[in-house]
A = this chain, B = another copy of it.
Amino acid sequence: MYPNTLYLPELREMLSQSDDAGLREFCVAVHPAAAAEFTDLLNLNEAWTVLRHADLPTQAEIFSFYDLPKQIEFLENVDLGEMASLIVELPPDDRVDILNEADPKIATELLPMLPENIRRDIFLLQRYPEDTAGSLMTTDYARVSEETTVEHALEEIGAQSAQLETIYYLYVVDQHDHLRGVLSARDLVSSFGRPQTKISELMETHVVSVDADDDSDDVADQVAKYDLAAIPVVDDEHRMLGIITHDDVIDVMREQAVEDTQRIGGLAPLEESYLRVSIPRLTWNRGMWLILLFFGALLTALALEQYQGGPLLTASTAWLVLFIPLIISCGGNTGSQSATLIISALSAGHVSPQDWLKIILRELLQGVLLGIVLGTIGYLAALLMGPDNWIHALAIPITILLVVICGTLLGAMLPLIFEQIGWDPALMSTPFIAGIIDVVGIVIYMSVALMLISGG
């Protein structure tokens, strides 16, 4: 863990005493991520006062560790001239994120304050829609030509490195920016003893890259598969546009894990963190699914209504009512489990829709096993709480067996079908699957009971 030697009260005291030396020391000595964390607890003006004690590159580094809403708060409340100098120092991808999310009026006011080359860079990156490789990339990367020597490359990279986000890889491009090869910093440094070697002799020509329009999920998959520290982004003609670094990939993966969980849990994913998102937005993201699920659940009432007035819902069979919630929750839980298994296996790349036959067989087998166990417990409960007639009580285990099998099969198949037709399988959320099985369960229960009781 980071040595947590500086605390909020000390920072507040330095602020109240205008202790410039102390604040300068704070900005230098503390890791930028930790400085961001501490100052995040101050109010905006106090935080800005602290940051002003850092030199511009450190200021930008600390700033880049705030989350996006906080960065925008600064932009919208601090002197724009000062913000413009800071924004010039930020990595290109961070710059664009801030400008895209800020109040358009302020963004328009800010743009003319930035140097022309940075403005051009911003317009270039803004073209890529959210969640594409293009929107994640940075245009600051180390590039060399094939003809460069090791010595020359080391010198060049040494001079450029202050502006570069990473030098783990040097990308080798021709004069039209076509990506020709890649060289790791490791390979460059290990050739330190042979300074006249040409880069073309050392470089790897099979480069793993992504297209600017590729989905950010695909980027994460490639980086994870090939164990990369950064991945180049190219256009249709294989011209180099930028790179995506491992830290941005980790951020994307974290966001996506949260979004996937929310989808599986039956909510539209939130754009912001739980405490920041507004209550109306949160209620809407939940409400749209709840209402849909509610209409689905109304079908259970309609299904039950069909049996009203028949031989089932009379005094002597009133015990059947007792087990309605049990049977519904049993099917719902089994279905949710199967859906969770298949959705997470799909997203981890462990199964694909081509495996459907194997999956059906596995789920069927599990359904039978689980159904027999749960059905046995259910039968005992039915004999205790239900009718005196042991044949009538058989309605419970038979229904449970059938409902559990339905649950495993539907729960597994629906996400697979979604994946096959190209939709996000997590849209087939577990409450949605439970809702479908609820209706099926009621129909199975009433049909089985009718057969046993009218027949018996």
- Using CB atoms and an 8 Å cutoff, list the residues of chain A in contact with chain B: 1-3, 29-31, 33, 65, 154-155, 157-159, 161-162, 164, 166-168, 185-193, 206, 208-211, 214, 220, 222-229, 246-247, 249-251, 253-254, 257-258, 260-262, 264-267, 270, 273-276, 279, 282-283, 286-287, 289-291, 293-295, 297-298, 300-302, 304-305, 308, 313-315, 318-319, 321-326, 328-330, 332-334, 336-337, 339-345, 347-348, 350-351, 355, 358-359, 362, 365-366, 369-370, 373-374, 377-378, 381, 385, 430-431, 434-435, 438, 442
Contacts and interface: CB of A to CB of B under 8 A. Distances in A.
24 contacts: A2-B222, A157-B192, A161-B186, A168-B229, A188-B189, A250-B250, A258-B344, A258-B347, A261-B343, A265-B336, A267-B340, A274-B341, A275-B358, A276-B350, A290-B337, A297-B326, A301-B323, A301-B381, A304-B321, A305-B322, A324-B324, A324-B325, A325-B328, A329-B435
A281 to B, nearest CB: 11
Contacts of A438: 325, 329
A237 to B, nearest CB: 15
B1 A329 contact: no
Contacts of A291: 373-374, 377
Nearest to A225: B33
B333 A366 contact: no
Contacts of A158: 189-193
Contact of A282 (B162, B273, B287, B362): B362
By DSSP majority rule, is chain A's interface helix, strand, loop, or mixed? helix
Instruction: Name the residue in A227, A246, A305, A329 with the highest tally of chain B Cβ atoms < 10 Å from its Cβ.
Output: A329
Contact of A193 (B155, B210, B262, B332): B155
Given A298-B381, A385-B301, A290 B322 contact: no
A333 B190 contact: no
A31 B290 contact: no
A343 to B, nearest CB: 7
A257 to B, nearest CB: 4
